[in-house]
C-alpha cells in the first residue's frame, strides 16, 4: 500500500497517467487524463486573459488591458505543460511480475527478466533550473528502451524518484542485483 501511494505521488508530480490493472500489474502512460490539465493551464487562463483584455479595449481603460496579459502569458506556459503531459502519456508500459510490455509508436515489445541486461538512470541538466531524468533498460541484444522520462527543477527529487521506480521495476522483474 505504501509503495502504491509513493507511485501515485511520483506519477501525479510528473502528470503521468497510470493505473493498476489488478493487484500485481501496473500500466504507465497511455492515459487520456490531460483534460483537467488542459482546462487549468490553457483554457481557463486564456479565456480570463482574453476577456479582461477585450473589456479593457472596449472601455478604453489602459490598466485593464494590461491586467489580462499575465493570464495570457500563463496560458502560453500552460501550452508547454499540456504538451509535456501529452508526450509523457503517448507511450504505454505495462509492468507485470517478470515481464515488461512497452508500446511505442504502435510497436509493442515484450521483455521478460532473462532478456534484460541492464537498468540505467540518466540525468541531464537542461538549463540552470531544469533537469531531465530517464529510466532505461537494455536488452541482451544491446537495444535500449526508455521506460520513463521526467523533467524536474529539483535534481535530488528527480534522482530519488527514478531510483525508487528503478527498484520497484527490478523487484517486479525479479532482477534485483
pLDDT at residue 32 in the model: 53
Q: Give the whole-angstrom CA distance, residue 167 versus residue 98.
A: 14
**Is residue 60 left, alpha or beta, with left meaning phi > 0 and alpha meaning psi from -120 to 50?**
left
pLDDT, mean of each 10-residue run, the chain (177 residues): 83 80 76 58 79 78 73 77 63 83 81 88 85 88 86 90 92 71
Q: What is the pLDDT of residue 72?
A: 78
What pLDDT does 164 receive? Answer: 94
Residues paired with 121 in a beta bridge: 135
Element (H, E) at 170: helix 155-173
Q: What is the pLDDT of residue 92?
A: 77
Of 26, 25, 28, 78, residue with least CA distance to 48: 78
Domain boundaries, the chain: 2-31+91-173, 35-84
Amino acid at each position: 500500500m505504501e509503495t502504491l501511494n509513493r507511485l501515485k505521488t511520483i506519477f501525479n508530480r510528473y502528470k503521468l497517467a497510470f493505473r493498476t490493472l489488478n493487484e500485481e500489474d501496473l500500466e504507465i502512460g497511455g492515459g487520456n487524463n490531460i483534460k483537467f490539465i488542459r482546462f487549468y493551464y490553457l483554457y481557463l487562463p486564456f479565456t480570463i486573459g482574453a476577456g479582461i483584455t477585450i473589456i479593457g479595449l472596449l472601455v478604453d481603460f489602459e490598466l485593464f488591458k494590461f491586467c489580462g496579459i499575465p493570464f495570457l502569458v500563463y496560458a502560453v506556459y500552460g501550452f508547454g505543460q499540456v504538451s509535456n503531459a501529452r508526450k509523457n502519456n503517448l507511450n504505454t508500459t505495462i509492468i507485470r511480475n517478470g515481464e515488461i510490455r512497452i508500446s511505442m509508436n504502435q510497436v509493442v515489445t515484450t521483455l521478460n527478466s532473462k532478456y534484460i541486461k541492464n537498468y540505467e538512470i540518466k540525468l541531464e541538466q537542461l538549463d540552470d533550473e531544469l533537469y531531465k531524468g530517464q529510466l532505461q533498460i537494455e536488452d541482451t541484444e544491446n537495444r535500449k528502451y526508455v521506460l520513463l522520462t521526467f523533467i524536474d527543477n529539483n535534481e535530488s527529487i528527480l534522482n530519488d524518484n527514478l531510483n525508487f521506480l528503478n527498484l520497484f521495476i527490478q523487484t517486479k522483474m525479479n532482477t534485483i542485483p
